[in-house]
Amino acid sequence: MTCDSNVKWPLSGEVKRNRKVTDNHYHLVLHAGKEYLSSSPGQFLMIRPGGRDVSLLGRPMSIYAVNKDGDGACVEVLYRVAGRGTGLMAQLKEGEMVGVVGPLGKGFTLYRDKKRVVLVAGGVGVAPLTFLAKAYRNLPETGSVEVVSYIGARSGTCIVGKGELGSIGRVSVSSDDGTCGHHGLVTDLFAKDLGVFEEDETAVYACGPSPMLKKMQEIMRDRSFIVQASLEERMACGIGACLGCVVRVKRGGYARVCTEGPVFNLKEVCFD
Amino acid sequence: MTDRADRPPRMEVTIGRGLTLKNPVMAASGTFGYGEEFARYVDLNSLGAIVVKGLSLEPASGNPPPRIMETPCGMLNSIGLQNVGVKAFLAEKLPFLRDYDTAVIANIFGETVDEYARLSEILSGAPGLKAVEVNVSCPNVEKGGIAFGSDPDRVAEVTRAVKGSVDLPVIVKLSPNVTDIALIAEAAEGAGADAVSLINTLKGMSIDVERKVPHIGKVIGGLSGPAIRPIALRMVWEVVNRVSIPVIGIGGIVDGNDALQFLIAGARAVQVGTANFMDPMATTKVLEGITNYMYRHSVRDINDLIGTLRV
């Protein structure tokens, strides 16, 4: 017997818009196949600029938003220029084609019985959490859920996504250099408010660099909150084959961020 | 009219005794998982073969991260041969692949000659398995790998052990981290290998100067991708001229042109590796590129192209 695997998942997208939103931070909007409409919050794309001419691995990018667009999907990401790959992405012009693989990975779990959702974002970590906040808003039975957000960045000029989360709920801002909001870490800002949240009525979500997530883990260690975190790792394939993006987990061994994650129960991850 | 110009060219190649592939494009071990990861993107039936992720006797958890780093035209990796183990492969992974019309090849590695022999015994007779590829070259595990691959006597010993324990064609995958790779290939041939495949990754290194730390957790990793292609091609050329068993070319193949270079140099087939990470459909594109070339040059049979380099 031969399997019918005549499947051709769409693996490219057309740049509709690629705008700088603030220092080094960009908002990329792609038109991709209708298959991408199935994306859920916390899932990601591997985006590879340069078509076939540039030898380059894709770069993992959490999905910021997905909407219907003609007969396909309009997929958005936020990214910070950090190296060669994101540098090439920043040069993308409207109408150019990019390699896209996705939606990938295991996204956030939505808890329909919670009264409150708390989001803690570092830098462009705000992207998947914004997608998540909107998903909570769009659930008919959770129309009254309260969404509280904490956004942090190195500097006030690096704060992205404040307006959008602000339209959904209360937003507190911090900056490492004190140029915007609380002077200090976003995790400290969140920790100050922790006492007002009921543990069994609140779901906490975090996304940001590893040191921030490690801090979150310390803050939440002796508490019973559900905490889901979206992790970031260098990846080669994004689809579970290269085994390059692993993180050590408490149950032993390693888990692939691309496949078992990128969203994990924060308490199960080891930050070495 | 039996020779119409648009008749599909003949793509079948024979890799040693008893192993015929429907076409010369194979997915390289460690870059294609156990096939299932790619089924959504690639018609697995279109591949000449799938070489699965390297298997050991027991499951292996692999090296501490960071495990990968992109480098100019390539990447470094130090995965540490993380795998599900041979028993889980047979029970959980092979049944999925068996249903596809492609040759499934098990890649194996061990830390002792006996481990290679025991792995081969376990794989012997596994339904749907078409060949065994023996990794004597992985530079990532301290005790094994490199010690075998850089010594012709040890390569011969491992080859004999595998040949004596399995009733399938045996491909020996060679390390480029040696002075004379053809010498190692000769040793494998002399010990009864049905074919050799080359090259595995080249040892490499990269440093984050801001933090003064290596980009790879284990400091040294294996370099792959287009950066190594000219070296791989040179080594394939050297080996083709020194052995008479089939040679499988591996190293930075991204498109049809890259694959054709190896075939014209004398490789009987090619493996696509790192390119699968850049583009899950890379294998399909390589095959299309070869086929288009054959139409353009009116080559009716891929075997008429192999080893046609004019020097």
The answer to whether residue B68 is domain-embedded is no
B138 is catalytic: yes
Given an 8 Å threshold on Cβ–Cβ distance, is B279 in contact with A3? Answer: no
Distance of alpha carbon A80 from alpha carbon A232, whole angstroms:
13
| Entry pTM | 0.94
- Is B85 an interface residue toward A (CB < 8 Å)? no
Q: Which domain holds residue B19?
A: 13-62+81-202+225-304
Render pLDDT for A110-119 as a digit per residue (tens, 0 to 9). Answer: 998 899 999 9
| HEC secondary structure over B124-178 | CCCCCEEEEEEECCCCCCCCCCHHHHCCHHHHHHHHHHHHCCCCCCEEEECCCCC
For residue A252, pLDDT beyond 70? yes
Spatial neighbors of B278 by CB under 8 A, at least 6 apart, are: A48, A55, A56, A57, A58, A99, B254
Instruction: For domain A233-272, give its CATH number from 3.90.580.10, 3.40.190.10, 2.10.240.10, 3.30.420.130.
Output: 2.10.240.10
Q: Which of B19, B138, B247, B275 is catalytic?
A: B138
The answer to whether residue B104 is domain-embedded is yes
Given an 8 Å threshold on Cβ–Cβ distance, is A7 in contact with B41? Answer: yes
Given an 8 Å threshold on Cβ–Cβ distance, is A244 in contact with B77? Answer: yes
Q: Which residues in chain B come in under a pLDDT of 70?
A: 1-6, 138-147
Looking at CATH, the fold of the domain delimited by A116-230 is given as: Rossmann fold (3.40.50)
The answer to whether residue B218 is domain-embedded is no
Q: Looking at residues A167-180, what average pLDDT do you find?
A: 92
**Cα separation values, B15 from B12, B119, B146, B196, Å:** 10, 22, 25, 9
B128: CATH: 3.20.20.70
Q: At what angle do helices B152-163 and B113-123 cross, to 10 degrees?
A: 30
Superfamily of domain A12-104: Translation factors (2.40.30.10)
Render pLDDT for A132-160 as a digit per residue (tens, 0 to 9). Answer: 999 998 887 656 789 999 999 998 888 88
Q: At what angle do helices B282-296 and B256-265 cross, to 10 degrees?
A: 60
Spatial neighbors of B247 by CB under 8 A, at least 6 apart, are: B185, B195, B196, B197, B198, B236, B239, B240, B266, B267, B268
Cα angle A161, A87, B213; round to 5: 100
The answer to whether residue B170 is domain-embedded is yes
From A2-11, A26-35, A254-263, B140-149, the region with the lowest mean pLDDT: B140-149
The ranges assigned to domains in chain A are 12-104, 116-230, 233-272
Count of CB contacts below 8 A, A vs B? 116
Given an 8 Å threshold on Cβ–Cβ distance, is B276 in contact with A241? Answer: yes
Provide the shortest C-alpha distance from residue A35 to chain B (in Å): 12
Specify the pLDDT at position A52.
53
